[in-house]
Amino acid sequence: MKGLWGLLYLGGACSLAGLLVGGCGGDSGSEPAPQATKLVFLNQPGTVEGQVAWDPPIRVALQTTTGTTVTGASADVTLSLATNPAGAALSGTTTVRAVNGIATFSDLALALPGDGFVLKAESAGLTSALGAAFSVRITFAHVSVGNFHSCGVTTTGFAYCWGQNAGGQLGTGTLTAEQRPSPVSGGLHFAEVSAGDVHTCGVTTTNVAYCWGVNDYGRLGDGTTTQHGVPTLVAGGLLFSHLSAGETDTCGVTMGGDAYCWGLNDAGQLGDAVIGQHPVPGRVMGGLHFSAVSAGGMHSCGITSDDIGYCWGDNGVGQLGDGTTTSRADPEPVAGGLRWRQLSAGGIHSCGVTTGNTVLCWGFNNHGQLGDGTMTEQHAPISIMTGQQIASVTTGRVNSCAITATGAASCWGINFSGQLGDGTIISPRPMPTLVQGGLGFAQLSARGEHTCGVTIDHVAYCWGFNAEGELGNGTDQSSLTPARIAQ
């Protein structure tokens, strides 16, 4: 007999299983080849980053009973999760064929954070192996809050969202709310995301713009008013450096410095003088070149490349900061001749940080959201937190927060749900009050009844209202102080 059948015939010493896991001996008088009987993990994941392929790759050896790797063995090895605390799916190639007695898994990853994951290795005819427990973390670069949802981008460029999802604003492909960070569908790498009231937009690392969620008024910019539960390309083929999602609209700055807006334009907040809804990006009038824009309630603000601040849209309570209450359909300079590093458009107020690191606010002030110690509206910028060096400011619907150069966070305005993070529900707070916990923040985001931020060491926290899971801490319990996002 020839070939395999001949080997099987010669004394029955060589079986098919033997060929697969250990090979066969030569002459009848030679020592039999070692046989693989079990699987053994050669290395373990340890603590890994969400959605990032594990490095070094996981290696599983086919070994003898005494622990020797059988270099001639070849068999299919499959990895799965024996313990899965987060209900995560193991991505990548989970079945590979061993080469020289070792199976190498080069692209495995887990998207959901948690502690106590355990791998299991299996192969037909061999004793399976369990790995050691390991953890998955997501390390945030920045976060953005919507009305009842939140989103963030990790330091490796993956987008996560959590909270309310009735309109698909989490981008997960479902309408299921999430109390913990859940990966945005599509595997895209984002440079930033921005959460509006019930929609979210983001710019990829290749400057392509996507939006998802509720799409009435065309706020997703895809040329329709159809809701989308996954990232959908913004129409027009423009490349963006920055996007800002507002209550019912979105604005962005292209790589060439042109500002575009889309969505509802009932008060001129799109800056193109055409009242109505705009389902595709339209260029903001004035021929200005912008470095940043911020979409608020019914108004928008932006900073030009020479640090001049402009606002446009509704101005009934002075939220444009031009010294009047006259609404504007095109950009109008903010009064005072100041140079700006950042502007943030809130519900019906605005705040900004100058190039000299001072913070000023203007507009409606019924709950002290301007932070000047009064509840009097201001039609032009008024200084607050004088004598302090301010790194950034963020405005919510009726509250605001700022970070100093040392990372200390303060908030002011409405506080019925604890969105100021001072440990109370005392409201209003017309003066800046320190966020509790002694954390050093690099970035903050405020909008509705909750606030989120990322510390200097990239740990994300949220506080305030949490009935929809928008704090991302795995519960629906509100928090009056910063609560760490679930890991």
pLDDT at 123: 98
Do residues 203 and 245 lie in contact, with contact meaning Cβ atoms separated by under 8 Å? no
What is the dihedral sign for C-alpha 319, 220, 258, 306? positive
What is the dihedral sign for C-alpha 353, 259, 347, 452? negative
pLDDT at 17: 43
Residues 299 and 448: their CA atoms lie apart, in Å, by: 16
Name, in order, each residue with C-beta under 8 angstroms of 102's C-beta and a sequence gap of 6 or more. Answer: 42, 59, 60, 61, 62, 69
Name, in order, each residue with C-beta under 8 angstroms of 142's C-beta and a sequence gap of 6 or more. Answer: 152, 153, 192, 443, 445, 454
Q: If one looks up domain 20-137 in CATH, what number appears?
A: 2.60.40.10
Alpha carbons within 13 A on the beta-carbon side of 332: 22
3-state secondary structure 6-64: HHHHCCCCCCHHHHHHCCCCCCCCCCCCCCCCEEEECCCCCEEECCCCCCCCEEEEEEC
pLDDT at 6: 36
CATH 2.60.40.10 residue ranges in the chain?
Answer: 20-137
Do residues 415 and 425 lie in contact, with contact meaning Cβ atoms separated by under 8 Å? yes
Read off the tokens for 243.
């996007």
SS3 label, residue 474: coil
CATH 2.130.10.30 residue ranges in the chain?
Answer: 140-484
Query: Residue 289, exposed/middle/buried by CB under 10 A (0-12, 13-18, 19+)?
Result: middle
pLDDT at 30: 63
Within 10 A of 116 (CB to CB), how many other CB atoms are there? 12
CA-closest candidate to residue 429, choices 359, 339, 369: 369
Q: Which fold has domain 140-484?
A: Methylamine Dehydrogenase; Chain H (2.130.10)
Tens of pLDDT along the chain (487 residues)? 334 333 333 333 344 444 444 544 444 456 778 999 999 999 999 999 999 999 999 999 999 999 999 999 999 999 999 999 999 999 999 999 999 999 999 999 999 999 999 999 999 999 999 999 999 999 999 999 999 999 999 999 999 999 999 999 999 999 999 999 999 999 999 999 999 999 999 999 999 999 999 999 999 999 999 999 999 999 999 999 999 999 999 999 999 999 999 999 999 999 998 999 999 999 999 999 999 999 999 999 999 999 999 999 999 999 999 999 999 999 999 999 999 999 999 999 999 999 999 999 999 999 999 999 999 999 999 999 999 999 999 999 999 999 999 999 999 999 999 999 999 999 999 999 999 999 999 999 999 899 999 999 999 999 999 999 999 999 999 999 999 999 8
Do residues 419 and 412 lie in contact, with contact meaning Cβ atoms separated by under 8 Å? no
Which residue in the block uniquely carries the two structure tokens 């190498």? 104
Provide φ and ψ at 16, rounded to 5°.
-60, -45
Note if the bond before 333 is cis, omega within 30 degrees: no
